[in-house]
Structure 1
Amino acid sequence: MGTRRRFTLECRRDVATLVLDSGSSIASVARDLGLGETVAGRWSKSSVRGARLPSRGLPIHVRWKLR
């Protein structure tokens, strides 16, 4: 059995930004980065809701979505 990978908040925010800014599907971004679709989707949804992912450093159009 493998060890569980841990990701920093910055990494999670970057993945969410990639999904939101690129226009690509969550599945394709997750596949490109070697992540599970569920994880990438959860991070993206959390970013939109503003939960646990700081909005600092995000592009203005993403910050507007967080309001």
Structure 2
Amino acid sequence: MVARLRKIVFDHTEGAPYPYVCSAWREVGGMNVGDKFTQEVGDVLIEALREDGIEIVVEELQPKGDR
């Protein structure tokens, strides 16, 4: 099983509430199901999944437009 996480980096000066949000995605029945986490929760999630032997793919993205 592979968990894919997208880390989107936000600039606080642009009014974003968090430095970044981790979006955790998994494929369920051909659909992507996701949830968003703050940096701290995302980091704990990544560590826990790796400890359980789940491969983690992290893709770092910059926010687009007015995201």
TM-score above 0.5, yes or no: no
Ranked by relative contact order (alpha carbons within 8 Å, sequence separation 6 or more), the top structure is 2
Quick check: which one's helix share is greater?
1
Quick check: which one's strand share is greater?
2
TM-score by length of 2: 0.27
